[in-house]
Amino acid sequence: MARKHRRPIAEINVVPYIDVMLVLLIIFMITAPLLQLGVEIELPEADAAPMEQSEDPVIVSVMANGDLYLSLDGQSELIDEQSLIQQLTVMVEQTPNIQVLIGGDQQVGYGRVYEAMVAVQQAGVSKIGLMSDPLETDGN
């Protein structure tokens, strides 16, 4: 009697890969809403009264390294000056009395914050404010 030779099967079993993919999908679905979006910036402290706001303002953040971030509805994105002007121009066309707040890191030079203010003005924004953290008192 002759023995039958079995040939090796050259197929990949993808079932374990599908299981891993589904587990990763579930992990991302659970953790995505928990991520806090935004940029961390050290604002200067000042003893100023808070402004009245009817809606969420548009925030332009100037980081310590000079990068600009545009924050809309809690979403922040790195942006260059030309794109900032273009996006704000579109917003001004839709909402003429839009309010833009500029927050500059304590470590950034005044000139860079001023450049951001000029860019916001070039977009046609008439209500521009500067952000700061409340002044901390030692209780004395």
| 46 pLDDT above the threshold of 70 | no
| Residue 63: CB atoms within 10 Å | 19
CATH code, domain with 88: 3.30.420.270
**106 is a domain residue:** yes
Which tokens is 107 given? 């470590």
Residue-level pLDDT at 126: 81
User: What total of structural domains would you count in the chain?
Assistant: 1
Judging by beta carbons within 10 Å of its beta carbon (0-12, 13-18, 19+), is residue 135 exposed, middle or buried? exposed
pTM given for the model: 0.58
85 pLDDT more than 60: yes
The pLDDT tens digits of the residues spanning 6-23 come to 777 778 888 888 999 999
Which of the two residues, 116 and 10, has the higher pLDDT score?
A: 116
19 located within any domain: no
